[in-house]
């Protein structure tokens, strides 16, 4: 039975990923340090509903499914904690069988501070983001180097690493011809937040590890994710993944739907021409699964652009307004002075074929899907606190 280690297993993507693999018969270990929960409390951000902790969820999941997800609560920025996941000595917070599951065959690495606005709040949050994200990645690289070179690392990157270049965005690599000679390089990266910059730096680290020690790495350059429900979340209300609707941890589509439901004008930054690639949370799970089934080769840094379609912010606002209107919400759109430093109108033509070539079948943001998202948020509308949606974190 293949063993999958999920770093950041308590997060928006981590918990659904844990259930997804568990329900398919994999041995799953989920690790988290609850950073996101603490940050949400500290910053008083918006969570649509309370979410039980990892051990409670693992217990619930076991009762519903009969499958075990082992839980470790630990800070992976500490090299010793990371190494125990490969060598033993792990202290499980929840497990049926407390014996060590052994080194993993695959690691899914989500264990990072995931918010661009968080990283821009002040120098201490910038420092935390930098140290946390890079130490975890580096500790993982060295643990795999030292104990499990065959292990496949599936790392969550972000499309934000590329920024908005004036040339077509390829899947991670580009051949450059210069003064009559050629070579192949990582596609140029330049991001617009400290968070996104740490993801570029992660890629630098992984590419170094791949070249030096023939590691196997798949880097998933993901766009903003939307959605709540996944195939495994329906059995019990308390198995649903966490859902933020605030500007700091809430992704744009999830936030817009929440704003629409509670009559809070949609906040479009500047011209609203910012175009990005998006995907449904169900597709994140498919993409990770397909990557796991066809691992990168030894010495390969395989990069996929993990998006299914592109929208501008203005298009998303219009879609939210239209579906909102159908469901009886009078949705206003408000243009705000852009608190970020980014191009508001730009060329954007990313390639994203690799994952579909591996067999991923995209869910698109249809009216029906959008309506389904509204339906869940409407159910919890009384929990929404309007005053925490927008705090005005500025990039300046």
Give me the active site residues, please.
Answer: 158, 195, 199
User: With the CA atoms of 208, 210, 215 and 218 taken in that order, what torsion angle do they form, in degrees rounded to the nearest 10?
Assistant: 110
**Cβ pair 230, 61 in contact under 8 A:** no
- Alpha-carbon distance of 165 to 149, in angstroms, equals 35
- Alpha-carbon distance of 67 to 24, in angstroms, equals 9
Assess 269 for contact with its own copies (CB under 8 A): no
**Cβ pair 86, 148 in contact under 8 A:** yes
CB 155 to its own copies: min, Å = 16
- The contact mask relative to its own copies for 204-243 (x = CB under 8 A, - = no) is xx-xx--xxx------------------------------
Helices (H) and strands (E) in the chain, counts: 12, 14
Of positions 185, 234, 293, 386, contacts its own copies by CB under 8 A:
185
- Alpha-carbon distance of 222 to 219, in angstroms, equals 9
The residue count for binding its own copies (CB under 8 A) is 51
Of positions 24, 83, 327, 391, contacts its own copies by CB under 8 A:
83
Is 78 or 236 the residue whose CB approaches its own copies more closely? 78
Of positions 7, 72, 90, 126, contacts its own copies by CB under 8 A:
126
CB 275 to its own copies: min, Å = 16
66: phi then psi, degrees, rounded to nearest 5:
80, 5
State in Å, rounded, how far the first CA of the chain is from the last one: 50
User: Positive or negative CA dihedral for 255, 260, 262, 266?
Assistant: positive
Assess 186 for contact with its own copies (CB under 8 A): yes
Is 177 or 382 the residue whose CB approaches its own copies more closely? 177
- Alpha-carbon distance of 4 to 350, in angstroms, equals 30
Is 42 or 182 the residue whose CB approaches its own copies more closely? 182
Rg (CA), the chain: 20
Structure tokens at 53: 């902790």
- The contact mask relative to its own copies for 314-353 (x = CB under 8 A, - = no) is ---------------------------x-----x------
Assess 79 for contact with its own copies (CB under 8 A): yes
| Positions that interact with its own copies (CB under 8 A) | 79, 83, 123-124, 126-127, 130-131, 134-135, 138-139, 142-143, 145-146, 165-168, 174, 176-179, 181-183, 185-186, 188-194, 197, 200-201, 204-205, 207-208, 211-213, 341, 347, 395-396
């Amino acid at each position: 039975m293949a063993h999958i280690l999920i770093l950041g297993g308590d997060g928006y993507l981590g918990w659904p990923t844990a259930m997804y693999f568990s329900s398919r018969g994999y041995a799953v270990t989920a690790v988290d340090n609850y950073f996101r929960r603490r940050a949400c409390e500290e910053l008083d951000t918006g969570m649509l509903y309370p979410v039980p902790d990892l051990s409670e969820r693992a217990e619930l999941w076991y009762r519903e499914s009969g499958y075990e997800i082992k839980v470790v609560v630990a800070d992976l920025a500490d090299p010793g904690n990371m190494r125990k996941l490969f060598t033993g000595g792990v202290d499980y917070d929840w497990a049926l069988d407390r014996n060590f599951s052994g080194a993993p065959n695959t690691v899914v690495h989500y264990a990072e501070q995931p918010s661009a606005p968080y990283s821009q709040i002040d120098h201490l949050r910038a420092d935390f983001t930098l140290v946390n994200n890079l130490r975890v990645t580096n500790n993982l690289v060295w643990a795999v180097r030292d104990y499990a070179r065959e292990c496949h690392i599936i790392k969550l990157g972000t499309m934000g690493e590329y920024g908005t270049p004036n040339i077509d965005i390829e899947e991670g690599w580009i051949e450059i011809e210069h003064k009559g000679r050629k070579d192949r390089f990582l596609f140029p990266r330049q991001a617009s937040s400290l968070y996104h910059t740490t993801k570029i730096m992660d890629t630098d680290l992984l590419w170094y590890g791949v070249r030096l020690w023939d590691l196997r790495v798949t880097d998933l350059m993901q766009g903003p994710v939307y959605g709540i429900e996944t195939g495994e979340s329906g059995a019990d209300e308390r198995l649903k993944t966490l859902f933020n609707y605030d500007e700091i941890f809430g992704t744009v589509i999830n936030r817009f739907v929440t704003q629409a439901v509670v009559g809070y004008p949609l906040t479009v930054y500047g011209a609203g021409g910012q175009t990005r690639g998006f995907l449904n949370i169900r597709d994140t799970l498919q993409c990770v699964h397909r990557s796991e089934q066809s691992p990168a080769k030894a010495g390969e840094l395989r990069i996929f652009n993990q998006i299914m379609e592109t929208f501008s912010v203005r298009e998303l606002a219009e879609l939210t307004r239209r579906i909102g209107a159908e469901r009886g919400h009078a949705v206003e759109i408000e243009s705000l002075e852009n608190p970020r430093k980014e191009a508001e109108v730009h060329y954007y033509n990313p390639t994203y074929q690799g994952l579909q070539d591996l067999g991923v079948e995209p869910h698109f943001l249809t009216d029906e899907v959008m309506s389904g998202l509204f339906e869940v948020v409407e159910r919890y509308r009384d929990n929404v606190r309007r005053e925490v949606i927008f705090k005005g974190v500025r990039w300046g």
